[in-house]
Structure 1
Amino acid sequence: MKNARTNDLSDRRTAAAEAKVALLNAYRTAKAVDEPARSARQAERMAAAVAREERRLERERIKRDEAERRMAEAIEREAAADAAVRAETEARETVEKNRIARVLEDEAARKAERDRRYANRKARRA
């Protein structure tokens, strides 16, 4: 069966314009119908983004606190090590001073013994 209708340029242009209008109306209708759901999805996305940002900030705070704690522990260990080194140095110095004092006392005792023997020998000769 033959198409009885003539398909002139103006008819095709009119049909195309009507199709565009129909598509635009269908889009607007679908958009209007979908608006509440879209708003709800957008609100959910915003809530998820806010929660994600809060979790990120919490993680950063925890990392910062952990870094501060580690730094404090490192400072404390360093101070303890310095104190131990200082105490060891002081102990070594004390031992060295005591040894020097004993050496001086022994030297003084030897000199005193020598002087006593010398005095005894002089007394026996005189």
Structure 2
Amino acid sequence: MSTILIGLSVSFVEKFDSNISIIVLILSWCSLFIAIFFGIFALMAIVGNIAKPNELLIDVYDKSIKNSTILQILFFLLGILFLLIYSSGIKIKNEDKNEKQKQINYYNSISFDKKDDFKLNKNRNKEVNPCKCN
């Protein structure tokens, strides 16, 4: 889940405008990366405990497994908290609205009188041969 959250936030960070500093988002990414690290470490500790040849009883609550999973969960929750703090100040950027408004103003400024409109309609019905092959 950490990988998905990092990927989504990196992909859409430029589409959003936040009042909160980007440092909070970077702290979120770092916390989520550390959670990934401790998750891998927890898996390695589990495999290490299973692979011990002399022990008949495998302890799931071994110190190395327990500590790494607790740290993984804590850093994941911390990363989620930082991501929620950053996303609480997000506003969607409105770049397209300005462009559309400029286009609307341009088309509203164009006007035709009746003679020009008739000439435009008359020219539309003609077939145009751009290569002038005939």
TM-score range for the pair, normalised by the shorter chain length:
0.3 to 0.5
Q: Say which one has the larger Rg.
A: 1
Q: TM-score normalized by structure 1?
A: 0.33
Q: Which has the higher helix share?
A: 1
More strand by share: 2
